Amino acid sequence: MDTRQIWRVVSGFVACIAGLYFIIFFTEHVAQLPPVNWGQKVWTLLVLSIFVWIGIIFLGATIWKIILAGLGHYLSWQNCLMIYGFSQLGKYLPGNFGHIAGRVVLAKRVGVPVTATAQAMILEVAWSMGVAASIALCGFLLGRDMEDTKWLLLLIVAGAFLAPWTGVALSNRFFSGLVFRLTGVSRLSSPGLIRMCIGCMLYILTFLVVGLLLDFHASVFFGADVSHVFLATVFFAWSWIAGYITPGAPAGLGVREAVLVSTLTPLYGAGVAVGVTISLRLITTLGDGLAFLVALLIRSLYKGSVSIEQPERKL
């Protein structure tokens, strides 16, 4: 059994344990789940949350377009949104890899080489993980009431902005063989300053918006009388990292829920923590499905008129 097979077995085991933990936690605390008053306010927030999640998905598409532009491939907005929307459902396949494979295949059909898509995805991982880790560390430091926290937070945020360059430099220095196997090139290209800043800001915005959604769900859906937007953002970052690095959990299923109920319980109580964890999974799943339908709509509206590449429109 090679390293890759061992990692798959271990990650699958972790995903199963996390899922079992959430199920046990749910059964023990479901009686504490506050009743939801299905009035206009609740339905409005539910619908808005789904559309906000669709917006988050297409923010990811924007970041991907920015990265590809830095590599010399200028997708039209229509193609970019279609590819990103179509590939979202792939993350629900076993292995948590389908959305990556789907994007590679679809991008190749519109003229983006596999090597460029692979490079772009490595940079996406560096950006997203860097931002998520910075937010998670911010919460850890604030929680420990460390002195001079503001300067530490500033350094952490700066580290998140430098994550793409740092990741590229380390990959080129120590993992050139792996880079070549994944991308077909011996060295990754570093992102430009403007693209790096835009990408990092969009990722930070994404995590903050999800933190706001969690806090709104706690108060509007389940009647929580306290607000913890920052900590909700921090704990979502923790859960996102855990779900992302566990390939055996499709779309982080089980792993993300286990982390969220454990971390949100001290903030809102066990019942509300269970409720917002379920509501987040509900809106993200529905949002992913609707993003797929939006991609279908874009394809039908622009069929025959979607340009493959637009090198004259550089970001």
Residue 284 pLDDT exceeds 80? yes
What are the respective helix, strand and coil percentages of the chain, to the nearest 5?
80, 0, 20
- Tell me how far CA of residue 75 lies from CA of 80, 84, 87, 158, in angstroms: 6, 12, 16, 29
pLDDT score recorded for residue 120: 84
For 62-96, what is each residue's pLDDT tens digit?
988 988 888 888 888 888 888 888 888 888 776 66
Rounded-to-integer distance, Cα 58 and Cα 46, Å:
19
Chain-wide mean pLDDT for the chain? 81
Looking at residue 220, its pLDDT comes to 94
Higher pLDDT, 122 or 36: 36
Output 133 or 218, whichever has higher pLDDT. 218
Amino acid sitting at position 148: D
pLDDT at position 307 over 60:
no
What is the band of 277 on the pLDDT scale with cuts at 50, 70, 90?
Answer: very high
In total, the chain counts a number of residues equal to 315
Distance between CA atoms of residues 92 and 251, nearest Å: 5
Q: Which long-range contacts (CB under 8 A, 24 or more apart) does 237-245 make?
A: 237/132, 237/133, 237/135, 237/136, 237/139, 237/207, 238/136, 238/139, 238/263, 239/263, 240/132, 240/207, 241/129, 241/132, 241/133, 241/136, 242/18, 244/128, 244/129, 244/132, 245/11
Mean pLDDT of 112-132: 83
**Phi/psi at 253 (5° precision):** -60, 130
Q: How far is CA 13 from CA 10, 90, 106, 152, 246, in A?
A: 5, 21, 31, 36, 10
Residue whose C-alpha is closest to residue 89's, from 287, 297, 305 = 287
pLDDT (0 to 100) of residue 54 = 94
CA pair distance 189, 82, nearest whole angstrom: 26
Q: What are phi and psi of 249, to 5 degrees?
A: -110, 100
In this predicted structure, what is the pLDDT of residue 142? 67
pLDDT score recorded for residue 108: 86
pLDDT beyond 50 at 146: no
Q: In this predicted structure, what is the pLDDT of residue 304?
A: 52
pTM of the model: 0.85
Judged against a pLDDT cut of 90, whether residue 274 lies above it is answered with: yes
Mean pLDDT score, 230-242: 90
What is the arithmetic mean of pLDDT over 6-16? 72
pLDDT above 70 (res 176): yes
Would you place residue 280 in the very low, low, confident or very high pLDDT band (cuts 50, 70, 90)? very high
Reported confidence tier of residue 196, pLDDT bands at 50, 70, 90: confident
Q: What is the mean pLDDT of residues 135-147?
A: 66
The pLDDT score that the predictor gives to residue 308 is 41
Q: In this structure, what DSSP letter does residue 217 have?
A: I
Looking at residue 243, what is its pLDDT?
84
Task: Give yes or no for residue 150 having a pLDDT over 70.
Answer: no
Position 134 scores a pLDDT of 82
Looking up tokens 């196997």, which residue turns up? 181
More confident residue, 156 or 45: 45
Predicted confidence at residue 309, as pLDDT, reads 44
